[in-house]
A = this chain, B = another copy of it.
């Protein structure tokens, strides 16, 4: 029956014990204003002032940043259930952008409503904090990954992480999941050029670790993929 839970509830539940009533309150708040954006469109851009927090309900979102000269870095990936920037309005201006990789459906929660949710329930507050702390932990792992891992390890690590997270929300049956990044996107997420990403992917394929075709990823040998990636899932705190 777990499949019937919304990704949001599923995510928050994993971040702390929430009563049915508390889940219902969040779902209700989220259901009040649902938006959609098309593939490859921006949801919000660096420098803008956010008025709502956003929760991904369906599709993949990339958090990214551009250097003054145009180089782009994808900072993290958000999948259904992920809260984009809890309390973003506390900082006034966005220091990064959010772009939809696929067609995306997301909930928008107003500041006042969001604050009421937190004020009304310590359990919800705690779940939101936990979600924020896990996001921070993932960001740290990305810093470490780009700083220390080699190209092949970095790409393998990205696959391990997304596979594990998708599995966590029930979206990776038979170790297969959506993976809507182009090779250029993978490059921007890992700090590599598309050409080099291509060659590393071929190596991973030849080793029988993954398949990646038409935006679907299949992990063929998790154990060996994790080894190649030096992947230790504890940073995901699941």
- A91 contact set on B, CB distance < 8 A: 130, 133-134, 137, 237
**How far is the CB of A146 from the nearest CB of chain B, in Å?**
5
A218 at the interface (CB under 8 A from B): no
| A87-B133, A130-B91 known; A73 vs B144 contact (CB < 8 Å) | yes
- Cα–Cα distance between A63 and B235 once the two chains are bound (Å): 14
Closest 4 CB pairs of A and B: A147-B191, A73-B144, A71-B148, A73-B147
B73 near A148 (CB under 8 angstroms)? Answer: yes
- Cα–Cα distance between A64 and B9 once the two chains are bound (Å): 32
| A67-B148, A232-B68 known; A133 vs B90 contact (CB < 8 Å) | yes
- A133 contact set on B, CB distance < 8 A: 87-88, 90-91
Q: Which residues of A contact B (CB under 8 A)?
A: 63, 65, 67-69, 71-73, 75-76, 87-88, 90-93, 95-96, 126, 129-130, 132-137, 139-144, 146-149, 190-191, 230, 232, 234-235, 237
Among A76, A88, A235, the most chain B Cβ lie within 10 Å of the Cβ of A235
- A87 contact set on B, CB distance < 8 A: 129, 133
- A140 contact set on B, CB distance < 8 A: 63, 65, 75-76, 95-96, 139
- A147 contact set on B, CB distance < 8 A: 73, 146, 190-191
- A137 contact set on B, CB distance < 8 A: 91, 95-96
B90 near A130 (CB under 8 angstroms)? Answer: yes
- Cα–Cα distance between A191 and B136 once the two chains are bound (Å): 20
Pick from B139, B144, B146: contact of A136, CB under 8 Å: B139
- Cα–Cα distance between A190 and B136 once the two chains are bound (Å): 19
17 A-B pairs with C-beta separation under 8 A: A65-B140, A67-B148, A68-B232, A73-B147, A76-B140, A87-B133, A90-B133, A91-B133, A91-B134, A92-B237, A93-B237, A95-B137, A95-B140, A95-B234, A135-B136, A143-B143, A147-B191
